[in-house]
Amino acid sequence: MLDLARLRALHAVHVHGSVAAAAAALGYTPSAISQQITKLERETRTTLLERKGRGIALTEDALQLASAAQELLAIVERTETTLEERRGQPTGVLSVGAFATAARGLLPTALAALAREHPTLQTRLSEVDPHISVDLVAKGLIDLAVAHDWDIAPLPAPDGVQHAPIGDDHCDILVPAGHPLAARPAIRRADLAHEPWICQPPGSVCHDWLVRTLRADGHEPDLRHQAAEYHTQLALVAAGLGIALVPRLGRGPLPEGVVALPLTPVPTRRLYALWRTGAARRPAIKAAVQALRDAWAAEPDAPGPAPEPDASPRPAPEPDAPRPSPRPAH
């Protein structure tokens, strides 16, 4: 009989394209994933991976197994959901993916609350990019994702994934204390036309938002320094090397020599919890969504629950009433 854990490893390699990426997604070492694939090759008496340039590719037999693994994993998930639902209590393992500032500023409080209230539920957190985490949910590699989008860049999500809003995270412009704008009560986008920027690298949601917004106002941004970590950006601002747009969630106290200024209109990113439709009845999903909302409500700078995308503000739905995710932006 084929081992489900080994099939899961092969499926992860298929989804992510490499052993290293599969290991990162599943929380194992690359050598552990390689060992699982080797054992599966012995079980099936066939070659599953082959060299292709500097990387690897799945053989035809491996692709068949990966497809079967996806079906089996879906069956297992439905069965686990049914059993957990019958117990009426969150149990088992809940894997969560979250972007960096949510992992730092939101998840510790939420996961600690889940541990206190549901001791039989084991949570596992991975820090991942929002768009990657949505894909991981859709393909069954994590159970729940905390992701975000911006007003001009809606979060794409495939069929079979549902969501609930958590809250709206406001962003500020950070400038050195001696900057000419530092004494203003608020600033406009036009004031930033010729400023040197410190931002995230290309391909990140925040970088894309900044570039698209400034270009829409008729200005080509001067991107002087790029750093993935907001704390690094803060250090660069404190050194007087430019200005930065930084969300409040997970930001922490500002270092000496840095001033936060509100920008008009306020840049906002919307936070969501996302999960597969097949797991929507699972008590652990409902409990996790509620814990995330409670953690958000406890944030000192939280402006309140997020309204539905493209809709008038209204109260957020209960976590036991999931809805389809936003459709991809075209």
The mean pLDDT of 236-241, rounded to a whole number, is 96
Mind listing the pLDDT tens digit for each residue in 15-31?
A: 878 888 888 777 788 89
270 or 318: which leads in pLDDT: 270
Per the confidence metrics, is the pTM higher than 0.85?
no
| The pLDDT of residue 315 | 35
Interaxial angle between packed helices 283-297 and 107-117, expressed in degrees from 0 to 180 and rounded to the nearest 10: 130
DSSP string covering 197-228: EEEPPTTSHHHHHHHHHHHHTT---EEEEE-S
d(CA 31, CA 15): 18
Backbone dihedral angles phi then psi of residue 175, each to the nearest 5 degrees: -130, 155
Of 218-222, 271-275, 315-319, highest mean pLDDT: 271-275
Interaxial angle between packed helices 4-16 and 19-26, expressed in degrees from 0 to 180 and rounded to the nearest 10: 120
pLDDT at 210 over 70: yes
The mean pLDDT of 218-225, rounded to a whole number, is 89
Structure tokens at 30: 């690359």
Q: Which of 170-179, 204-213, 234-243, 296-305 has the lowest mean pLDDT?
A: 296-305
d(CA 213, CA 267): 10
| The pLDDT of residue 301 | 60
| The pLDDT of residue 138 | 85
Mind listing the pLDDT tens digit for each residue in 289-320?
A: 999 999 999 876 655 444 443 333 333 334 44
| The pLDDT of residue 324 | 40
Task: Provide the percentage of residues in the chain whose pLDDT is more than 90.
Answer: 38
pLDDT at 200 over 60: yes
The mean pLDDT of 35-44, rounded to a whole number, is 90
